[in-house]
């Protein structure tokens, strides 16, 4: 009958949604298994000696395992990127830890971007019309600049910025380049914080209180990230102003 989908069409739809479904299932499984309880500074403090010993005993395997865990965490949108970045600096030093995170975070974000684009990108683009379509066109034309600003600015959660470009016609290489470049300042800053985490943990232990990520991330650091985003936005603003004058 007309309108009924054939078996090949059904299989195609299933394959399109399979990556996004896998991400959702992985996220729900993580919470169901209680893995989020291990992604805290207190858990890191409790296991720091064991983790340090493992890194010392496996100088090649440990960074590889950490990178894979980071990729999976970001791809599943598990809210632990900042903590894992601090842990990278704590375990591997700010330079190696920062480089590991840049590569792993970019890979995980790209996997999520591809999953969302495969499942939803074409459908949502067909629904766009009027002002929404014009906004989408503006984003696509300046995708690298917009993505760079969004990555630098501490405004939106990391996972939202990973998915949002999938709804526009953003090229994969543009997404990867803007993501890798945009996360570098915060990544190395957080890794540097992690590099000096031992003294902070001992201070918290002496005072008898639990340690939170907010104890490490100062308002001055957040302002610095915002200032970087403003600097990155200047070329976009100039281009907009020039475009209006010429039109």
The pTM for the full model equals 0.76
Domain extent at residue 227 = 7-246
Structural domains of the chain, count: 1
Instruction: Give me the pLDDT at residue 245, please.
Output: 54
Burial, 74: exposed, middle or buried (Cβ in 10 Å; 0-12, 13-18, 19+)? buried
Residue 189 forms part of a structural domain: yes
Q: Answer with the residue of higher pLDDT: 115 or 56.
A: 56
Q: Which residue, 172, 192, 70, 154, is CA-closest to 116?
A: 172
Query: pLDDT digits over 37-81, tens only?
Result: 767 777 777 788 899 899 999 999 999 999 999 998 998 888 788
Confidence class for position 1, pLDDT limits 50, 70, 90: very low
Instruction: Give me the pLDDT at residue 117, please.
Output: 82
The Cα–Cα gap between 200 and 193 comes to 10
Percent of the chain with pLDDT over 70: 59
Residue 2 forms part of a structural domain: no
Name the DSSP letter for residue 34: T
Alpha helices in 2-121 (DSSP H): 7-32, 41-46, 48-57, 61-75, 81-92, 94-116
Residue 144 forms part of a structural domain: yes
Residue 232 forms part of a structural domain: yes
Q: What mean pLDDT is predicted for residues 142-163?
A: 82
Residue 50 forms part of a structural domain: yes
Paired tokens of 156: 């939106």
Residue 23 forms part of a structural domain: yes
Instruction: Give me the pLDDT at residue 83, please.
Output: 86
Q: What mean pLDDT is predicted for residues 124-129?
A: 54
Residue 43 forms part of a structural domain: yes
Residue 1 forms part of a structural domain: no
């Amino acid at each position: 009958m007309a309108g009924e989908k054939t078996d090949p069409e059904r299989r195609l739809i299933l394959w399109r949604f399979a990556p996004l479904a896998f991400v959702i299932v992985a996220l729900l499984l993580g919470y169901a298994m209680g893995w989020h309880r291990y992604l805290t500074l207190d858990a890191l403090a409790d296991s720091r000696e064991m983790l340090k010993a493992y890194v010392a005993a496996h100088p090649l395997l440990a960074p590889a395992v950490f990178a894979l865990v980071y990729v999976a965490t970001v791809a599943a949108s598990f809210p632990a990127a900042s903590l894992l970045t601090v842990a990278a600096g704590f375990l591997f030093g700010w330079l190696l830890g920062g480089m590991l995170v840049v590569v792993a975070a970019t890979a995980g974000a790209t996997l999520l971007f591809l999953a969302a684009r495969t499942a939803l990108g074409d459908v949502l683009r067909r629904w766009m019309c009027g002002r929404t379509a014009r906004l989408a066109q503006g984003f696509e034309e300046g995708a690298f600049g917009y993505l760079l600003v969004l990555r630098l600015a501490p405004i939106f959660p990391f996972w939202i910025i990973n998915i949002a470009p999938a709804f526009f016609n953003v090229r994969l290489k543009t997404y990867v380049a803007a993501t890798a470049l945009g996360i570098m300042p915060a990544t190395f800053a957080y890794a540097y914080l992690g590099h000096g985490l031992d003294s902070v943990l001992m201070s918290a232990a002496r005072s008898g209180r639990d340690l939170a990520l907010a104890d490490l991330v100062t308002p001055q650091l957040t302002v610095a990230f915002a200032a970087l985003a403003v600097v990155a936005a200047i070329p976009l603003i100039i281009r907009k102003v020039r475009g209006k004058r010429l039109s």
